[in-house]
Amino acid sequence: MNLLFALVLAVTTAPLDTATFAGGCFWSMERAFDQVAGVVAVTVGYTGGTMPHPSYEQVSTGQTGHLESVQVVYDPRRIAYERLVDAFWHDIDPTQADGQFCDHGPEYHTAIFYRDSTEYRVAAASRRALERRFEKPIVTEIVPATAFYPAEQYHQHYTRRSFIATPPSTAWPRPHAGRSSGASRSRSSPRSSRRPRSTRRSSITSTTTARIR
């Protein structure tokens, strides 16, 4: 009985893993990973730069070196790191060098942050596979993970809270990952100083996804 209890305890307390991605607007990236089976939690924040504990306003200047990012906590028994990388590619345009879709600036550049040699090999192999399918160069970087700083609380789970508070007729029109115009920033949004997204993001994502498949 003691052996059985020990086995059950070992299974139920298996450690979770963490992955970090930058894919433009972190609201959209958070929502995409929230829908992936095996993902336990997603935190939006900033990483890649040198300034400790940056604020949203500081990162928005494009001078900190930080990228809007998501930290994904996942259960490796339910989903492999390869699947997370694949989900990442399906939600971005890996050929856009100046940001993502209608969000322009260095803080919107795309990147995969690896924590060890295994993650690097997976990410690099995945990017090489994409390079054989795209005519344009893949500009998404693969770089070592550095300190991750969670964004302000009002940024966390923003689209989830907005979806719940929005009538069905104006909520996100599609339940799967993809950058939809339903997430357009309103004038009352905490990010009201930023350029609102257009429906172009959704159409480009669909084209990118078709090429990745």
Question: Which residue numbers are catalytic?
Answer: 25
Cross-strand bridge partners of residue 83: none
Token pair 């959704």 is found at: 202
CA dihedral for 54, 60, 64, 69, sign (positive or negative): positive
One-letter amino acid for residue 43 of the chain? T
Helix-helix angle 117-131:81-89, to 10 degrees: 40
Cross-strand bridge partners of residue 187: none
**CA–CA distance, 183 with 132 (Å, rounded to integer):** 32
Using alpha carbons, select from 114, 103, 107, 121 the residue that is nearest to residue 46.
Answer: 107
One-letter amino acid for residue 199 of the chain? T
Please give the C-alpha separations between residue 112 and each of 72, 109, 174, in angstroms, as whole numbers.
12, 10, 26
Count of helices and strands (H, E) across the chain: 7, 8
Q: Are 142 and 114 in contact (CB under 8 A)?
A: yes
The 3-state DSSP class for residue 161 equals: helix
